[in-house]
Chain A
Amino acid sequence: MPFKPVPQKFNAKINSLTVGTGDRTATLGGESSYPFYGFDAPIENRPKIGVEISDIGADNSLPGIAEYYKGCSTLPELAKRASEMPGADFLAISLDGAHPDNGDRSVEDTTALVKEAAAAVDIPIVIEGCRNIEKDAKLFEKIAEALDGRNVLFLSAREENYKSVSAAAAMAYSQKIGAESAVDINLAKQLNVLISQMGVKTESVAMNLGSAAAGYGFEYVATTFDRVKSAALAQNDNMLQMPIVTPVASETWTVKESIVSEADFPEWGPAEERGVNMEIATASACLAAGSNAVILRHPESVAAVSKLIAELI
């Protein structure tokens, strides 16, 4: 008697969201199955990988990063090099230098810098902001205008600034926005509802549901992602059908395992290798739980995760 698999068919699907224009675009989502369950239903778009660079330069304390970005000193040069990384689907620009505690570069200067970097590449672009709510709202407004027509994704609109981000980025310039919540399905849904009530099309919205490094409360991440995908597919909840974009690198490169020196923990071996594995393990777990895109930094992590995706699709 042969095995009779029972495929899980859903009459609902994750929204497709395209970033970028022209020859190089990245489409996220579109599937009507759990992550990598190609045996249930064909997977429309494979998950995508974003390569993160910072407006304050590459982290040259890591030999692998320093080597990859060797000779790049400006943001446009970094952007160009990152866009050529094997496995890169989009570029994620983190505007750390605009944060009030980290240089407080002005909105005008930052916008000019981003515009210059964007002009140097044809790869789809995600703007990650500086993670200061007021400053991000101002930055996104100006950058949305400066990159009009590039179909950029802004990460993120949060509960405190979604109105201005939605109005400026999504409505005035038809860019895409990511709704950011902190690892909680109810907060995620509430923010999506609020944004759609502003009149933003749900197809223009992605979700950043938050993340955590492996070992640092990842159970909340896995469970939130599981529940969101289940609500989106099994219950056809259209306020949770947005594709999930997860910035992984910013979580994994700050934990103890990735940063303490080999001198302090000789048995652990070189810090960079630990950081790379932490980035790979966390990104892979995010993808297995439901991320439609992950944002990474290290070329070796990008290579491994892109191989993983190719093998699983």
Chain B
Amino acid sequence: MALKGLDIFKLTPKTNCKDCGNPTCMAFAMKVAQGAIELGKCPHLSEEAKTQLGDAAAPPMKKIEIGKGEDKFTLGGETVLFRHDKTFVSKNLFAVAVCEDSIDKKLPDVRRVDYDRLGERMYVEFLNVIDKGDADKFADTAKKAAAEGRGVILETADAAAAEKALAVAGDRVILNGANAANYERFAEIAGERAALGVSGKTLDELYDTVAALEKLGFKNLILDVTGETVKDTFAAAVQARRAALKDNDRTFGYPSIVNLHKLAKGEAHLQTALASVFTLKYGSIIIMSEMEYAQALPLYGLRQNIYTDPQKPMKVEPGIYPIGGADENSICVTTVDFALTYFVVSGELERSGVPLNLLISDAGGYSVLTAWAAGKLSAGSIAKFMKDFDIEGKIKSRTLVIPGKVAVLKGEIEEKLAGWKVVVAPNEAVELVKFFREFKS
């Protein structure tokens, strides 16, 4: 059961010593109850209090780290089922399935998808290596995969193959093969070296195996919820996550693996559809047969959206964004750094087919009207941006198009930017295509 703040408060020293970083013991207790900080932050709790609170105050879903240091991957640690209740914390990661026969052919494609979107690196984080029955070839493939600078998932239920591959698979490994029959041996093999993927023929069997592993003291687990069918898999992913977060059943409080390579072998479009569904509903690692740019662009974009903290708007870096093959003679268009505004505006500008230099200035991540009302978008801020980024040195055109919603700034900007002609764009982004196609500077 989740604890209330008051229950926790009763067991604190009540000295308001501030050693935990909070002004009072009450404040500390409330934050622990919300899951915002850990119980261990209080150095003065009695052992008795710790045992009493320990289990109950633990987060409902464990955070599993794959690897150590800066390049580790973090999965799980979610506290809500819907992002509007708070936020999702650990974005889902993508894997591509490979085996000894396909790895050489697939690697160049996997490497190709690697790009930046709003400061986030988008690439295939894991390679899922499949055991085809030959332990030596399996280990060789794992070794090749580990050399790619990604995490490795070892898909095998064979203990000998698992041991061999684990020895050469690098230090960011998930050993995915524990089941009701082999879990004791697999916990031993994984040890401190790897997180353990657990599966079951039914949700009941998965549940019992996880409980048995926890009894052995092994809690570095990931639930492979992939079932016989898509329907079963979706049901398992939702029910496991819901049991942990809504019904406080911590046995299912682990991240999940969804294997679309198994569920939709060879059907790339169905995989795109399923990956999209499992990004929203509770897949932590999604295994694909491949990841082409055509799939990556919408899937990584969707993931970035869903895992945005509702309290922190996404921002674009200020700077010059040339569109439609713009050069130094192309006219300038400016808008704010709120990511949604940037995407909508740049999309429409792209669609117009007219070469333009899109200038994004720092407006605090707000939309046009909000930024203007908050004083973050003004003639002064635009003039400062033009100077800081040496626009006059980089671009020869002296025409600047400003958002229709801040038409009122036109005169003031012209005063501050000598030699510039300021033009007011339409109010709505959808009108931009027509506006620029008919534009004469």
**CB of A159 to closest CB in B, whole Å:** 15
Q: Mark B216-259, 1 if CB is under 8 A from A, else 0.
A: 00000000000001110011001100110011010110000000
- Which residues of B are found within 8 Å of A287, using beta-carbon distances? 277
* A3 CA / B251 CA spacing, docked (Å): 9
* A283 CA / B276 CA spacing, docked (Å): 9
B301 within 8 A of A: yes
Residues 257-271 of A contacting B (Cβ, < 8 Å): 257, 259-260, 264, 267-270
Q: Mark B299-318, 1 if CB is under 8 A from A, else 0.
A: 11110111010100000000
Q: Could you list 26 examples of A-B contacts with CB < 8 Å?
A: A1-B211, A3-B206, A5-B243, A6-B242, A6-B247, A213-B301, A214-B276, A216-B301, A216-B347, A219-B308, A222-B306, A223-B310, A267-B112, A268-B297, A277-B294, A278-B298, A280-B273, A281-B295, A281-B299, A284-B272, A288-B281, A304-B273, A307-B273, A308-B273, A308-B274, A311-B230
**CB of B48 to closest CB in A, whole Å:** 28
Q: Are A281 and B292 in contact (CB under 8 A)?
A: no
Spot the interface stretch: A33-41, A78-86, A113-121, A189-197. Answer: A33-41
- Which residues of B are found within 8 Å of A223, using beta-carbon distances? 82-84, 310
- Which residues of B are found within 8 Å of A3, using beta-carbon distances? 203-204, 206-208, 243, 249, 251-252
**CB of A38 to closest CB in B, whole Å:** 7
- Which residues of B are found within 8 Å of A313, using beta-carbon distances? 231
Which listed residue, A101, A216, A273, touches B343 by the CB 8 Å rule? A216
Q: Are B204 and A260 in contact (CB under 8 A)?
A: no
**CB of A62 to closest CB in B, whole Å:** 14
Q: Are B272 and A256 in contact (CB under 8 A)?
A: no
**CB of A222 to closest CB in B, whole Å:** 6
Q: Mark A214-244, 1 if CB is under 8 A from B, else 0.
A: 1111111011001100100000000000000
Q: Are B350 and A38 in contact (CB under 8 A)?
A: no
Q: Are B273 and A254 in contact (CB under 8 A)?
A: no
For chains A and B in complex, what number of residue pairs have CB atoms within 8 angstroms? 184
* A257 CA / B343 CA spacing, docked (Å): 11
Task: Give the 5 A-B CB pairs with smallest separation, nearest first.
Answer: A215-B301, A281-B298, A304-B269, A3-B207, A214-B302
A39-B235, A267-B112, A308-B277 in contact; A215/B298 too (CB < 8 A)?
yes
B180 within 8 A of A: no
What is the chain B residue whose CB lies nearest that of A300? B269
- Which residues of B are found within 8 Å of A264, using beta-carbon distances? 325
Which listed residue, B112, B208, B275, B343, touches A217 by the CB 8 Å rule? B343
DSSP class of B's interface residues: helix, strand, loop or mixed?
Answer: helix
A274-B294, A277-B269 in contact; A254/B347 too (CB < 8 A)?
yes
B270 within 8 A of A: yes
What is the chain B residue whose CB lies nearest that of A185? B84
Q: Are A230 and B82 in contact (CB under 8 A)?
A: yes
**CB of B346 to closest CB in A, whole Å:** 7
What is the chain B residue whose CB lies nearest that of A255? B347
B79 within 8 A of A: no
What is the chain B residue whose CB lies nearest that of A101? B434
- Which residues of A are found within 8 Å of B206, using beta-carbon distances? 3
What is the chain B residue whose CB lies nearest that of A303? B269
B417 within 8 A of A: no
Residues 287-343 of B contacting A (Cβ, < 8 Å): 292-295, 297-302, 304-306, 308, 310, 325, 339-340, 343
Q: Are B292 and A280 in contact (CB under 8 A)?
A: no
B141 within 8 A of A: no
A2 within 8 A of B: yes
Residues 281-305 of A contacting B (Cβ, < 8 Å): 281-285, 287-289, 300-301, 303-305
* A151 CA / B98 CA spacing, docked (Å): 51
- Which residues of B are found within 8 Å of A38, using beta-carbon distances? 231, 235
Q: Are B294 and A268 in contact (CB under 8 A)?
A: yes
Q: Are A312 and B230 in contact (CB under 8 A)?
A: yes
- Which residues of B are found within 8 Å of A277, using beta-carbon distances? 269, 272, 294-295, 297-298
What is the chain A residue whose CB lies nearest that of B295? A277
Chain A residue total in the interface (Cβ 8 A): 60
* A218 CA / B231 CA spacing, docked (Å): 24
- Which residues of B are found within 8 Å of A2, using beta-carbon distances? 204, 207-208
Q: Are B276 and A280 in contact (CB under 8 A)?
A: yes
Which listed residue, A220, A282, A305, A312, touches B231 by the CB 8 Å rule? A312
B280 within 8 A of A: yes
Residues 68-101 of B contacting A (Cβ, < 8 Å): 82-84
B262 within 8 A of A: no
- Which residues of B are found within 8 Å of A259, using beta-carbon distances? 350-351
Could you say which of B112, B235, B276, B344 has the most chain A C-beta atoms within 10 Å of its C-beta?
B276
A26 within 8 A of B: no
B361 within 8 A of A: no
- Which residues of A are found within 8 Å of B347, using beta-carbon distances? 216, 254-256
**CB of B83 to closest CB in A, whole Å:** 6
Q: Are B243 and A284 in contact (CB under 8 A)?
A: no
* A125 CA / B185 CA spacing, docked (Å): 60
- Which residues of B are found within 8 Å of A220, using beta-carbon distances? 340
**CB of B9 to closest CB in A, whole Å:** 29
Q: Are B277 and A288 in contact (CB under 8 A)?
A: yes
- Which residues of B are found within 8 Å of A205, using beta-carbon distances? none
Which listed residue, A8, A217, A304, touches B340 by the CB 8 Å rule? A217
